A and B are shown apart, each in its own frame.
Chain A
Amino acid sequence: MDFARGESDEIIAETIGRFAADELRPRLREFEAARTVGESVRERFAALGFEALDIAEEAGGAGLGLLARVRTNRLLAEADAGAALALDRFAPAIYVIEAFGGVEPLKSLGMNLGQSDLRFALVTDPGAGDVAGVRVAGHVAWIPAAPADVLVGLGPQGAWVLKDGFAFEPVRGAALHAAGASAVRFDGTPILAWHDPMRAARALARIRIYYASLIWGVLSDAAGFSRSYALDRVAFGKPIAHHQALAFLIVDMYVAVARLGLLIEDAAMAIDAGEGRAVGAAAAAFVDAIEASRFVGPNGVQILGGHGFMRDFPVEKAMRDCRALGLLAGGCDSAREDAGAGLAATISERIAA
């Protein structure tokens, strides 16, 4: 694993970090209340040139790979994970089209940057791929998205793409409100449909890492914010960070976030390199993100005590956001299943070798 970061990585990080700090973080609650980041913020983000930065260049993306995406997602999600989702009108749905059809379907959908303002949304459909090309129908209770122009369904057997025959209904949503919150009902004939479990697994791996990287950002912020608070807040005559119970907790949270980041970047690099372990590594990283969420999210609130429970501070939002992100991409249990299966395959391969 290469831990080094190149000059271009640093430039991206600095640019995205400044945008997140200046444009997103100060308006956290405003976006949450409005359930959107608004067009002007979207336009300013698009002007930075980081839309679709991990999509193939031939399709109009920057072709920088998933590793660049997860690092960007982390920085955006440190400011507001809901806003990070809102600013991305392609991913993670676009990963499915790219995994199954490659560049040509992306072009046929008018994906090229500067030529379209299409928005894509993703739902998980257990029946996807069972029968390719015929009518698909179903209902998904919640996705963190506002109405989109193209709906992509992904299941363990395959995927489909709808341009008509679906409707978004606004729902309250548990978190990530800046991205919107919708139930999706679909009943239509796909313009594209595929049956290919292997490609479905690869698409899901990328999607899992996409969401895991957002969780990473949320947890990084929760751990950092609560740590700063603990150094300022005084109880029993010293900063609460200097009390053993909290000092150990803060260290444990830091370790959990660092461990998660390593697993995510490792899986992203495996995906970018097309390694056979990528699917299992991505599933494992997603499970780790969810388990870290359970630990870091509530403890970020805990360190602030009663203040953490109030909406005046961002830690309660972080707790809700990371919890909700872990419900996506099929959730924790299916990822654990795939992580175990991926591990078994690797062992089998070793035995065969």
Chain B
Amino acid sequence: MNKFSAALNVHIEQVREWGQREVRPAGLEADRNGAPLPPDHPYFAGYVDFRRRHPGPVDDGAVPEGPAVRMAAINEENAYWDRGMGVAAPGPGLPAPIVAAAGTPEQREHFLGPFRGSEIPRWGSFALTEPSGGSDTTAFRTRATRTDRGFLLNGAKCFIGNAARADWVLVQANLDPDKGRSGQRSFFVERGNRGMTGIKVENKMGLRAYESVSFILEDCEVPRDNILGGERPEQTSRSSAYGATMGTLNTTRVGVAASAVGLARSAYDEALNFAKQSGAFRSIRVRDRLEAMHRQLRAAWLMTLRAAWKADSRIPNIVDASMAKVFAAETAQDLASAGMEIVGLEAGAGHHLVEKLFRDAKALNIVEGTGQIQRIIMARHLVGLPR
């Protein structure tokens, strides 16, 4: 199960070559600058060109791996070179599957169409988290109210990836608070909307290569056509904004797990190379530690692949996905921290890659469902933990 087809391996090799040549240096540049690379940085145009030349396997039956396994494999390789640059990559991003699943044909064409074959970098963005609630989606306070021309959005969002450079942000808001979570809908807020104010790019400990943006929605006018899925009175769980969002998060948890494995592998390689070059590898304690790191890394990768394989096989994988997410994220943190110790004062000097990985890794146990949320999810399924 953990060996890939030749076709997928070819694409992984393409990603590896691109990552070594372009992604790693760009990620380090952003980290040293303490800010994401600007949208007009040549890296992004190069990325668009790379993706056009190497789109990777598609669902045409040419490769045996399903989309979840392919995503895991590519995410792992991307994150090995730089997790932050992976998130900063141009494209519709996280909302793409949501729009594809729940958008009207017109919305799919209008909002996703410009990304197809685009020769310039474009970004989409998805705004879920709020200052008042990250994991607790029922605590969201952003409200949508109907007007003659469409909707007015009021609220605040935080830690939103790529929002300051996106063509549009898909904003989650509650149109009918009396219905609780099922009252939530998603709205496209397009670039230049004057109701989207107070845009602030956060100053982060790590993953500085991509924007985490906070903003306020203040009487933000949205046309009637910009409510995801249209204003149909009957909403199936699949097409409702909430259902589409939660379904996407279940899928992307495996992707985050794979990214964590990639980051952890990078930390392991840095530690191993340093130990060999410095002579520390002769120490049995260092070798013991590297062996434990390698074992943990391997287990995290197998968990991730199993969760992805179950998704592709349409086998319920909620527990597997949560387990992979939490274990891989903690593995990334553990290995980066242990890598700091093996590299020692060179890491303390703040110039070594493993020091950056240590700062980057922490976020992976926070984003898209913290480690605690994953444990609650697992506990609900495994021991019936009450809500």
5 CB contacts below 8 A, A to B, read A235-B139, A302-B370, A302-B371, A316-B205, A324-B348
Contacts of A28 in B (CB 8 A): none
Q: Which of A235, A249, A309 has a CB less than 8 Å from the CB of B205?
A: A309
A181-238 CB contacts (< 8 Å) to partner B: 181, 183, 234-236
Interface string of A131-152 (1 = CB under 8 A from B): 0000000001111100000000
Measured CB to CB, the nearest residue on chain A to B135 is A235
Chain A residues with Cβ below 8 Å from B134 are 235, 305-306
1/0 per residue, CB under 8 A from A, across B283-305: the answer is 10110010000000000000000
Are B285 and A236 within 8 A (Cβ)? no
Chain A contacts for B340, CB-based, 8 A = 323, 327
Q: Are B371 and A142 in contact (CB under 8 A)?
A: no
Is A302 a contact partner of B205 (Cβ separation < 8 A)? no
Q: Contact: B349 with A243, CB < 8 Å? A: no
Choose the segment among A49-57, A78-86, A168-176 that binds chain B (4+ C-beta atoms closer than 8 Å). A168-176
Smallest CB-CB separation from A244: which chain B residue?
A: B385
Contact flags (1/0) for A304-317 with B, using CB distance below 8 Å?
A: 01101111000010
Residues of A within 8 A of B344 (CB): 141, 327, 331
Picked from A141, A174, A181, A305, the residue with its CB within 8 Å of the CB of B370 is A305
* Any B CB within 8 A of the CB of A25: no
Known pairs A174-B347, A245-B376, A298-B362; A310 contacts B285 (CB<8 A): no
B342-386 contacts to A (CB < 8 Å): 344-351, 355, 358-359, 362-363, 365-367, 370-372, 375-376, 379, 385
Q: Is A332 an interface residue (CB 8 A)?
A: yes
Q: Is the CB of B341 within 8 A of A331?
A: yes
Nearest residue, chain A, Cβ from B132: A234
- The verdict on B331 contacting chain A, using a C-beta distance below 8 Å, is no
Known A141-B348, A236-B136, A245-B375; judge A323-B358 contact (CB<8 A).
Answer: yes
What are the residues of chain B within 8 A of A333 when measuring CB–CB?
283, 285-286, 289, 341
Do the beta carbons of B341 and A326 come within 8 Å of each other?
yes
Q: Is A294 an interface position by the 8 A CB rule?
A: yes
B133 within 8 A of A: yes
- Inter-chain contact B346/A141, CB cutoff 8 Å: yes
Question: Which residues of chain B have C-beta atoms less than 8 A from A22's C-beta?
Answer: none
B44 within 8 A of A: no
List chain B positions with a Cβ less than 8 A from chain A: 129, 133-136, 138-139, 158-159, 202-206, 283, 285-286, 289, 333-334, 337, 340-341, 344-351, 355, 358-359, 362-363, 365-367, 370-372, 375-376, 379, 385, 387
Residue of A243, A306, A323 near B372 (CB, 8 A) is A243
Does B348 contact A142, Cβ atoms closer than 8 Å? yes
Q: A310-B204, A333-B283 are in contact. Are A327 and B348 (CB under 8 A)?
A: yes
The answer to the question of A320 belonging to the interface, with a C-beta cut-off of 8 Å to chain B, is: yes
Kindly list chain B residues whose C-beta atoms are within 8 Å of the C-beta of A174: 347-350, 355, 358
For B376, what are the chain A residues with a Cβ–Cβ distance below 8 Å? 243, 245
Residues of B within 8 A of A331 (CB): 341, 344
Chain B proximity of A271: nearest CB distance (Å): 25
Assembled-state Cα–Cα distance A328/B345 (Å): 7
Q: Give Cα distance in the complex from A11 to B138, angstroms.
A: 49
* A107 CB → nearest B CB, Å: 32
A175→B366 CA distance, assembly (Å) = 22
Choice from B158, B204, B349 contacting A142 with Cβ under 8 Å:
B349
Give residues 91-122 of A contacting B (CB, 8 Å): none
Contact of A301 with B by CB under 8 A = yes
Q: B351 contacts A172, CB within 8 Å?
A: yes
With an 8 Å Cβ cutoff, the count of chain A residues facing the other chain is 44
The reply on A337 being an interface residue by CB < 8 A is yes
Contacts of B333 in A (CB 8 A): 298
Expressed in whole angstroms, the Cα–Cα distance for A115 and B139 within the complex equals: 62
- B345→A319 contact, CB < 8 A: no
Is A12 an interface residue when CB atoms closer than 8 A count as contact? no
Q: Which residues of A contact B372 (CB under 8 A)?
A: 243, 245-246, 249, 302
Give the shortest distance, in Å, between B336 (CB) and chain A (any CB). Answer: 10
Given A142-B348, A174-B355, A305 and B366 contact (CB-CB distance below 8 Å)? yes
Q: Which residues of the other chain, B, contact A246 by a CB distance below 8 angstroms? A: 372
Nearest CB in chain B: distance from A173 CB, A:
5
Q: Does A336 contact B (CB under 8 A)?
A: yes
Q: Which residues of A contact B362 (CB under 8 A)?
A: 298, 301-302, 309, 316, 319
> Measured between C-beta atoms, what is the minimum distance from B150 to chain A in Å?
30
B201 CB, nearest partner CB in chain A, Å: 11
Question: Judging by beta carbons under 8 Å apart, are A306 and B129 in contact?
Answer: yes
**B375's closest neighbor in chain A, by CB?**
A245
Contacts of B129 in A (CB 8 A): 306
Minimum C-beta distance from B19 to chain A (A)? 24
Q: Which residue of A lies closest to B202 (CB)?
A: A310
Complex alpha-carbon distance, A142 and B349, angstroms? 5
**What's the minimum C-beta distance from B132 to chain A, rounded to whole angstroms?**
9
Bound: A301/B286 CA distance, A: 28
Instruction: Please indicate the chain A residues that have their CB under 8 angstroms from the CB of B204 in the complex.
Output: 309-311
Alpha-carbon gap, A302 to B367, bound state (A): 10
A142 adjacent to B366 (CB under 8 Å): no
Flag A321-353 by CB within 8 Å of B: 1 or 0 each. 001101110011100110000000000000000
| Contact residues in B for A316 (Cβ distance below 8 Å) | 205, 362
Q: Is A141's CB under 8 angstroms from B337's CB? A: no
Question: Which B residues are in CB contact (< 8 Å) with A310?
Answer: 202-205
Bound CA–CA A301/B364 (angstroms): 12
Within the complex, what minimum Cβ distance (angstroms) separates A303 from chain B?
A: 9
Chain A residues within an 8 Å CB radius of B289 = 333
CB neighbours (8 Å) of A181 from chain B are 349-350
| Neighbouring B residues of A305 by C-beta, 8 Å | 134-135, 366, 370
User: Complex Cα distance A337/B135, Å?
Assistant: 43
Say yes or no: A172-B350 contact (C-beta < 8 A), given A235-B136, A311-B205.
Answer: yes
Are A327 and B285 in touch, CB under 8 angstroms?
A: no
Instruction: Enumerate chain A residues within 8 angstroms of B366, measured Cβ to Cβ.
Output: 301-302, 305-306, 308-309
In the bound complex, residues from chain A placing their C-beta under 8 Å from that of B346 are 141-142
